[in-house]
Structure 1
Amino acid sequence: LQAAAQGRADDAAGRIEVARSLVTDSDDQVARVLVELFGVRVAARLGTSPSGQTPEQVEVSLAALGIDPVGWLCIADLAMGAVRT
């Protein structure tokens, strides 16, 4: 998230890929969906296409787990220096 905040697109994308690789084989569904959520937010911040799930897929995954994304979106945006209104 910090790399995205600083506009370092390649670094940010690489860090998301590392995070994704760490949780891909995990049974932790929450960790997997949060990595995808952060990947979507990083891509949006950088104006690129997400390399993993689409925003719609992330929303479906969060809903399936009973997670309201508002707080997580706020955390991601604040970490990247974006102001949510």
Structure 2
Amino acid sequence: MAILIVFFGVSILNKLNTIEQQLTGTKKITLEKKQNEFDDSLLREEVRQLLLEGKKIKAVKRVRERTGISLVEAKQYVDQFEL
């Protein structure tokens, strides 16, 4: 009986791991799609202007609003425009 419980437990953990890997892949695809949906040139210009005005936090916020990406990803996006 205990062997069956252990077997089913391991089986469930394997299935959960597979599902987690699939969700991670789906999340990456969704993020790439979101990044491609917005007009990159307009956003770039807006980010550059906000950085010239010393408004880095507002630039990061604007990127997040327009793209739906995470805070870390938005900050990395803005950082590439800094001199």
The TM-score, its normalising length taken from structure 2, stands at 0.32
The TM-score, its normalising length taken from structure 1, stands at 0.31
Structure exhibiting the larger radius of gyration computed from Cα positions? 2
Which of structures 1 and 2 has the larger relative contact order (alpha carbons within 8 angstroms, sep 6+)? 1
Q: Which has the higher helix share?
A: 2
